[in-house]
């Protein structure tokens, strides 16, 4: 007699639940996504004991009749796909028909739903139907999941603490709210409201409702398209950042996804703008032909494959980088949050026709708008909040130095603003852009050395140097063999800082020796510019005179991105007159 047997349905559903239902947030995700697919505009999530005891999801969607309400708990029963070809044109969040039977197999489920005026109630425990009766709701669907994992204690003990489970659900509802701003979401736990969004279909307003005023005021809009992808959404300027990438929300055709390659593109777009251990806040929508992507690669449907990643990278990287280069990213001093009266004009009373435009966020209070404007265009008569275009290269700065504090911080001012500049960070940014532009130049000017520079290497390092001799010469460095494992540098490019030539040349060779096999010239240029700028810049606690202070400010203002050093630390922080007066209690 054979030993292979077909598992009964209850056991197979419990096994499937291990893939689909890992924790409380997994259940909430599946239930809420069903509500979204049901065309709901209001979705309420209520938890008891962080959802470990009870999860309740209420929506105003299309509902189900009695037949569908019972069939929904049958494995692989779905209204989302009809045949194999539909897998290539998936436009719904759910489609496998695994979630409800998996959840019902490891909990107690009470479903109340209504369609065409007929209400149905279905009660299931541990995958077994207890009853199917007339329901109590008049529209939409209400589903209660109780005692999660009551019949699988091995899974129950792996649930995390109250706050961990609650944090996971909160993060999920935040992202779902951002991915569907036209839906009003609410989340309660033990009768305490945690999240409430308006469903205004205004993404910036939803960002404000989720993350608050300080984040929303520092978000800038991106919008672009190519033959394969349409991208729109908001990314943070460098005034706000997080220590993890959990606040990067990527939405593809309405589905929240986590894709390491897309996250890397976003992080690369902030290279030299944010510190390596910092991440931006991002909410982007990527719309594309369903045939270009594959969402059927993971049970939770949270990962995704793109068949044309190159065109996505080019568009996404370019949009973020270009926008960050065109807006003011000056770090601002902390000042008490404006009153509701001062901020209400940003978000309230927006109709679909009056939603926030591509380049302007409006303030009702014009005086406050001018005083808190983020713009280096100091001669502009009209200052617009957050996304003013900057024309630095064609104007002289009106910022003048006042003095140096602690040998490190340069104070400067114009008519309405006081600036505090870190002289080392500012000098790093100036030198970084100078070196980077020089490395990009195809025509390299060189200078012959009266006294050659001799450098000795290990055998493996020497072989690497010889292997890359053509590339080294393209940088403007000429060298000859000079004994065992030793070279003699006889010329170098003219853009090396005077007095620092030998140290700079050695740093170039050190970087070449450390290069990986898959050499990337762009990354090499950036890393070399960073290494050189850090070591060749004026150090903190160095007194510089008035003329040097003036020159530092002028050179910084002419930089393409003057707001941070290449390591992502701020170069300049500003205090507006309004902020100073508020700090000194001169204004309310």
Of the ranges 158-162, 176-180, 539-543, 557-561, the best mean pLDDT one:
176-180
Residues 6+ apart with CB under 8 A from 197: 177, 181, 183, 184, 185, 186, 206, 209, 210
Whether 574 has a pLDDT exceeding 50, the answer reads yes
The tokens of 484 are what? 């065992």
Helix axes 260-269, 309-326, angle to 10 degrees: 30
Q: How many helices (DSSP H) and strands (DSSP E) are in the chain? A: 19, 23
Burial zone of 451 (CB within 10 Å; 0-12 exposed, 13-18 middle, 19+ buried): exposed
Whether 340 has a pLDDT exceeding 60, the answer reads no
Whether 399 has a pLDDT exceeding 90, the answer reads no
DSSP letters, 439-452, are HH-SS--EEEEEEE
pLDDT digits (tens, 9 = 90+) for 105-138: 889 999 999 999 999 999 999 888 999 999 889 9
**Per-residue model confidence (pLDDT) at position 51:** 92
Which of 414, 430, 393 minimizes the C-alpha distance to 571?
A: 430
What's the CA dihedral at 522, 526, 528, 533 to 10 degrees?
160
pLDDT digits (tens, 9 = 90+) for 20-30: 577 899 899 99
**Per-residue model confidence (pLDDT) at position 407:** 84
DSSP letters, 364-403, are S-HHHHHHT---S-TT-SS--TTT-----TTS----EEEE
Q: Phi, psi (5° rounding) for residue 13?
A: -65, -35
Euclidean distance between CA atoms 33 and 100, whole angstroms: 11
Higher pLDDT, 228 or 344: 228
- What is the average per-residue pLDDT within 61-73? 89
**Per-residue model confidence (pLDDT) at position 11:** 52
What strand order describes the sheet that includes 192-196? 128-134, 118-125, 108-115, 141-146, 54-59, 42-48, 184-189, 192-196
**Per-residue model confidence (pLDDT) at position 385:** 31
The tokens of 352 are what? 């679909």
Euclidean distance between CA atoms 455 and 464, whole angstroms: 14
pLDDT digits (tens, 9 = 90+) for 496-533: 877 888 888 888 888 888 876 666 788 888 888 888 88
- What is the average per-residue pLDDT within 340-345? 38
3-class SS string, 73-127: CCCCCCCCCCCHHHHHCCCCCCCCCCHHHHHHHCCEEEEEEEECCEEEEEEEECC
Lowest mean pLDDT among 44-48, 58-62, 352-356, 468-472: 352-356
Which of 511, 380, 496, 375 minimizes the C-alpha distance to 439?
A: 496
- What is the average per-residue pLDDT within 315-343? 72
Higher pLDDT, 262 or 373: 262
**Per-residue model confidence (pLDDT) at position 86:** 46
**Per-residue model confidence (pLDDT) at position 481:** 87
Euclidean distance between CA atoms 475 and 545, whole angstroms: 34
Higher pLDDT, 184 or 511: 184
The tokens of 441 are what? 């130049």
Whether 345 has a pLDDT exceeding 50, the answer reads no
Query: Quick one: pLDDT band at residue 367, thresholds 50, 70, 90?
Result: very low
**Per-residue model confidence (pLDDT) at position 84:** 47
pLDDT digits (tens, 9 = 90+) for 198-210: 999 999 999 999 9
Euclidean distance between CA atoms 74 and 51, whole angstroms: 24
Whether 386 has a pLDDT exceeding 70, the answer reads no
**Which residues, in sequence order, are bridge partners of residue 410?**
404, 421
Whether 156 has a pLDDT exceeding 90, the answer reads no
- What is the average per-residue pLDDT within 482-504? 87
Whether residue 466 contacts residue 454, with contact meaning beta carbons closer than 8 Å, is answered with: no
The tokens of 346 are what? 């940003």
- Domains of the chain, with CATH numbers? 9-196 (3.30.565.10), 203-326 (3.30.230.10), 340-426+541-583 (3.30.1540.20), 446-494+498-535 (3.30.1370.100)
- What is the average per-residue pLDDT within 288-303? 69
Euclidean distance between CA atoms 584 and 425, whole angstroms: 29
What strand order describes the sheet that includes 478-481? 446-456, 486-493, 478-481
The tokens of 320 are what? 């973020």
Higher pLDDT, 441 or 46: 46
**Per-residue model confidence (pLDDT) at position 519:** 65
Residues 6+ apart with CB under 8 A from 137: 63, 112, 113, 114, 119
**Per-residue model confidence (pLDDT) at position 87:** 47
pLDDT digits (tens, 9 = 90+) for 222-257: 999 999 999 999 999 988 999 889 999 999 988 888
Whether residue 513 contacts residue 528, with contact meaning beta carbons closer than 8 Å, is answered with: no
């Amino acid at each position: 007699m054979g030993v292979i047997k077909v598992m009964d349905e209850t056991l197979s559903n419990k096994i499937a639940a291990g893939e689909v239902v890992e924790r409380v947030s997994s259940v909430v995700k599946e239930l809420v996504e069903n509500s979204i697919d049901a065309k709901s505009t209001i979705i309420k999530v209520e938890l008891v004991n962080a959802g470990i005891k009870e999860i309740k999801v209420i929506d105003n969607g299309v509902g189900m009749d009695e037949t569908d309400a019972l069939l929904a708990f049958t494995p692989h029963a779905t209204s989302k796909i009809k045949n194999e070809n539909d897998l290539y044109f998936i436009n719904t969040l759910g489609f496998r028909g695994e979630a409800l039977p998996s959840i019902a197999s490891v909990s107690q489920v009470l479903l109340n739903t209504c369609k065409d005026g007929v209400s149905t109630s279905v009660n299931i425990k541990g995958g077994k139907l207890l009853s199917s009766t007339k329901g109590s709701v008049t529209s939409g669907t209400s589903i209660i999941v109780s005692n999660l994992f009551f019949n699988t204690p091995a899974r129950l003990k792996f649930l995390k603490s109250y706050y961990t489970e609650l944090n996971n659900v909160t993060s999920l509802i935040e992202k779902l709210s951002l991915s569907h701003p036209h839906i009003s979401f609410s989340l309660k736990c033990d009768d305490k409201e945690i999240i409430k969004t308006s469903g205004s279909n205004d993404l910036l307003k939803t960002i404000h409702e989720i993350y608050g005023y300080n984040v929303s005021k520092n978000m800038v809009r991106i919008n672009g398209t190519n033959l394969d992808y349409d991208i729109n959404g908001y990314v943070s300027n460098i005034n706000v950042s997080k220590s993890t990438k959990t606040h990067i929300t990527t939405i593809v055709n309405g589905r929240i996804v986590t894709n390491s390659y897309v996250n890397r593109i976003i992080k690369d777009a902030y290279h030299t703008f944010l510190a390596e251990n910092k991440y931006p806040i991002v909410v982007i929508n990527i719309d594309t032909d369903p045939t270009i992507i594959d969402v059927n690669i993971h049970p939770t449907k949270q990962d995704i494959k793109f068949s044309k990643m190159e065109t996505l990278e080019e568009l996404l990287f370019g949009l973020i980088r270009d926008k960050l280069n065109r807006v003011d990213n000056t770090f601002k001093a902390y000042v008490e949050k404006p009153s509701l009266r001062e901020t209400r004009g940003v978000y309230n009373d927006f109709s679909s026709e009056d939603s926030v435009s591509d380049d302007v966020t409006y303030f009702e209070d014009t005086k406050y708008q001018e005083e808190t404007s983020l713009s280096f265009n100091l001669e502009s008569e009209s200052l617009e909040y957050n996304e003013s275009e900057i024309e630095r290269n064609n104007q002289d700065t009106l910022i003048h130095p006042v003095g140096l504090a602690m040998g490190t911080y340069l104070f400067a001012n114009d008519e309405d603003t006081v600036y505090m500049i870190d002289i080392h960070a500012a000098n790093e940014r100036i030198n970084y852009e100078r070196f980077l532009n020089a490395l990009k130049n195809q025509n390299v000017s060189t200078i012959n050395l009266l006294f050659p520079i001799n450098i000795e290497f290990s055998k493996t390092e020497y072989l690497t140097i010889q292997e890359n001799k053509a590339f080294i010469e393209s940088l403007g460095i000429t060298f000859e063999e000079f004994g065992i494992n030793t070279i003699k540098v006889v010329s170098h490019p003219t853009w090396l800082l005077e007095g620092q030539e030998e140290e700079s040349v050695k740093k170039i060779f050190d970087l070449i020796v450390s290069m990986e096999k898959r050499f990337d010239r762009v990354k090499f240029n950036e890393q070399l510019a960073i290494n050189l700028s850090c070591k060749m810049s004026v150090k903190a606690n160095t007194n510089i005179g008035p003329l040097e202070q003036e020159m530092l400010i002028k050179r910084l203002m002419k930089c393409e991105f003057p707001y941070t050093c290449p390591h992502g630390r701020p170069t300049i922080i500003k205090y507006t007159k309004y902020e100073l007066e508020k700090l000194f209690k001169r204004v309310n």
